Amino acid sequence: MGSKACPWLLLLLLVAAAGSVPVGAEEAAFDENYAVQWGADGYHLVIRGTEANITMDQNSGAGFRSKSMYGSGFFHMRMKLPSSGYTAGVVTTFYLISQPEDGSRDEVDFEFLGDKAGVPITLQTNVFVNGRGDREQRLHLWFDPAADFHDYKILWNPYQLVMFVDDTPIRVLRNLTGTVPGYPFPAKQTMLIRASVWDGSGWATDGGKTKVDWSKGPFMAGYRGFDVNGCANGSATPCDSPDLWWNGGGYRNITAEQRAAYDDVRKKYMNYDYCADKARFNNSVPIECNYV
């Protein structure tokens, strides 16, 4: 595992056996599992033990990454988004990404897209497999993600990829690569954990028509929860091993209750789904859309 053994591990194992959605303890300090990637000037990224604050202004944003790469796991981050009222163009992220030299990356994204004052922040998720994305889904959350910290989680194992907001699944992709030819699933590359706040004026709000207004800044996001429940690259235990709790029976499918919550989110809160955008794909849909 990416984090050191600790007293709450037994509790996590018991919770995992019950098939619910655990959240790792928050005692881990930032530098146990993460390192600054950019913006390390003492202002744009400020680390205070178990919390990190990223500030974006006209000079820079900032980002950090995990020290290890992972082949499976249940990854989470507690986040509080920038809250200045007007946050158009501001992109706040938490994601997994591989590091191939040829650009054929795998990636799993939480991207929070700021907006004009009074307009809800948009959560966009995307999945890249072998360098190809174009799998955006967007929704407005049922709470204000700038008002307090919430959990954002990615379950990634040999059986499924599930993205959660708190305990509610908002995106599910089963691994059907063994039975459906051409089915995309990020199964072959290890991935880093990354997080950042950056200027997405070129695309994030109204398709890039509404830009960052620097007079409304600076824009600050908070991050917590720096322990890692994942199979690190080079681990003695294979990352597809059933001995890893996130690969166990309780995590190979979502439960009936989770499915009902997932369907409810799609019905009430999702405002764009690439699977429904047939015009984008020449009046057809990508193959995985047939197995939602």
51-61 confidence digits (pLDDT tens) = 999 999 999 99
- Residue 189 corresponds to which tokens in the numbers above? 């590359």
Q: What is the mean pLDDT of residues 176-188?
A: 95
Question: What integer pLDDT is reported at residue 292 of this predicted model?
Answer: 83
Residues 6+ apart with CB under 8 A from 216: 84, 85, 86, 87
Asked if residue 218 has a cis previous peptide bond (ω within 30° of 0), the answer is yes
Neighbours of 100 (CB within 10 A): 13
- Residue 193 corresponds to which tokens in the numbers above? 């954990």
- The answer to whether 186 touches 156, Cβ cutoff 8 Å, is yes
Question: What integer pLDDT is reported at residue 27 of this predicted model?
Answer: 84
pLDDT digits (tens, 9 = 90+) for 78-113: 999 998 799 999 999 999 999 999 989 999 999 999
Could you give all domains of the chain from N- to C-terminal order, each with its CATH number? 30-290 (2.60.120.200)
- The answer to whether 53 touches 197, Cβ cutoff 8 Å, is no
- The answer to whether 112 touches 176, Cβ cutoff 8 Å, is no
Would you say residue 175 has pLDDT above 50?
yes
For residue 26, what pLDDT band results from cuts at 50, 70 and 90?
A: low
For residue 7, what pLDDT band results from cuts at 50, 70 and 90?
A: very low
DSSP 120: P
3-state SS of 34-89 is EEEEECCCCCCEEEECCEEEEEECCCCCEEEEECCCEEEEEEEEEEECCCCCCCCC
pLDDT digits (tens, 9 = 90+) for 260-276: 999 999 999 999 999 99
Q: What is the mean pLDDT of residues 206-235?
A: 97
Catalytic positions are 107, 111
User: How does the average pLDDT of the chain come out, rounded?
Assistant: 92
Q: What is the DSSP string of 123-164?
A: EEEEEEBTTB----EEEE-SS-TTTS-EEEEEEE-SSEEEEE
Would you say residue 22 has pLDDT above 60?
no
Percent of the chain with pLDDT over 70: 91
Question: What integer pLDDT is reported at residue 19 of this predicted model?
Answer: 44
